[in-house]
Amino acid sequence: MNYNLHPFKRYGNNPILTREEIPYPINTVFNAAACKFNGEYLLLLRVEDFSGISHLTLARSRNGYDFSVDEKPWIVPSKDPEYEPYERYGVEDPRITQIDDTYYITYTAFGPYGPRVGIGRTRDFVHFERVCLATEVENKDAVLFPEKIGGYYVMIDRPSGWGGQQGSIWIQYSPDMIHWGRAKVLLSPEPGWSHAKLGISTPPVKTDRGWLVLYHGVRETGSGRLYRVGALLLDLQNPEKIIGYTPHFLFGPEETYERTGDVPNVVFPCGAILEDDGTLKVYYGAADTCIALAEANVDDIVELCLIEKDLLPSFK
Ligand code: BMA
């Protein structure tokens, strides 16, 4: 068999954003959501300040490679008593999904009780309105599908598993974006590169052969955790059905900016943009310290999911 198991190419001028590009003093910038809006590329950056609390700031680009960062944070931990106890330690790891003319932002609300999934929305990237805290703790890494399926909004998330040790990816549904239920496990860690836990990385991208989702897998090693990226293909009508899967990682830390930083050996995508020519631009946090970009042809990833799915022991 002659296919490329690692289809992503890193952008030559990586990293695309470091803390030097943020117009106010901060510790690190990483794990950014991405979308296109009014002809511009937008990144919603996770910015960690010197107290260790994260907020979200917008960056804008005409070409998807060179970004300029807004002067001020956009989404900061809420002071609203409904949200304040749950966002006190920060808002983290956003993902953006466009549904009709509204851009929904899922994020990790982090507070004294642990992480939970927050959902907010905007139509103009000026006004931001919180919709709900969609889950209890311990839950994070949530993405929304860009359309209703069977009349319901659909979300994939990652509640922590038994004893807080293992993390499987789950799927659940809502009639109104507020009340969520009918939750089911979608994929659990397998022995090997992602044995410790999984989490969804990027919101589902619709292809003619299924919903393509990148996810991260974590391996515990003698010197800490290793975060790498795999892909899943879900049935268009029934996203609970995995129709493709890569049993190996597609992308992992190799470059110095991915290997060294506040948390070494981490690539953590939160944003993906599909271009008209089939290029998938994936924006990822590197070593919890900067933001980088890698690109692949979407069909190459889909092919890998379909060719290799039978290699997963629990898939049969
Ligand atoms: C995860 C999240 C991410 C982070 C990663 C590596 O649990 O907290 O925000 O990038 O760990 O530290």
pLDDT band at 309 (very low <50, low <70, confident <90, very high): low
Does pLDDT of 92 surpass 50?
A: yes
Does pLDDT of 289 surpass 90?
A: yes
What tens digit of pLDDT does each residue of 137-150 get? 999 999 999 999 99
pLDDT band at 190 (very low <50, low <70, confident <90, very high): confident
Q: Tell me the whole-structure pTM to 2 decimals.
A: 0.96
- For the chain, give the percent of residues with pLDDT over 90: 91
- Structure tokens given for 71: 């002067």
Substitution site in 29, 55, 216, 266 for ligand 1 pocket (most atoms within 8 Å of beta carbon): 266
Three-class DSSP labels, 71-95 = CCCCECCCCCCCCHHHHCCEEEEEE
Contacting residues for 30 by C-beta, under 8 A, at least 6 apart: 45, 46, 48, 268, 285, 286, 287, 288, 289, 290, 291
| pLDDT at res. 233 | 97
DSSP H or E segment with residue 117: strand 114-122
Lowest mean pLDDT among 30-44, 111-125, 163-177: 163-177
* Residue with CA closest to ligand 1 atom 12: 263
Substitution site in 194, 268, 284, 289 for ligand 1 pocket (most atoms within 8 Å of beta carbon): 268
Amino acid code (one letter) for 310: D
Ligand 1 centre from 171 Cα, in Å? 20
Ligand 1 centre from 83 Cα, in Å? 22
Q: What is the mean pLDDT of residues 41-54?
A: 98
DSSP 160: B
Beta bridge partners of 172: 155
CATH class of 16-315: mainly beta
| pLDDT at res. 2 | 58
| pLDDT at res. 315 | 47
What distance in Å separates the CA atoms of residue 66 and residue 16, rounded to the nearest whole number? 7
Calculate the CA 48 to chain-centre distance.
17
**Is the C-beta atom of 288 inside 6 A of ligand 1?**
yes
Ligand 1 centre from 294 Cα, in Å? 19
Q: What is the mean pLDDT of residues 298-312?
A: 84
pLDDT band at 264 (very low <50, low <70, confident <90, very high): very high
**Is the C-beta atom of 92 inside 6 A of ligand 1?**
yes
| pLDDT at res. 312 | 53
Does pLDDT of 163 surpass 90?
A: no
Does pLDDT of 314 surpass 80?
A: no
pLDDT band at 46 (very low <50, low <70, confident <90, very high): very high
What distance in Å separates the CA atoms of residue 256 and residue 15, rounded to the nearest whole number? 10
- For the chain, which residues make up each domain, given as ranges? 16-315
Does pLDDT of 4 surpass 90?
A: no
Does pLDDT of 160 surpass 90?
A: no
Does pLDDT of 308 surpass 80?
A: no
Q: What is the mean pLDDT of residues 156-173?
A: 85
What tens digit of pLDDT does each residue of 69-89 get? 999 999 999 999 999 999 999
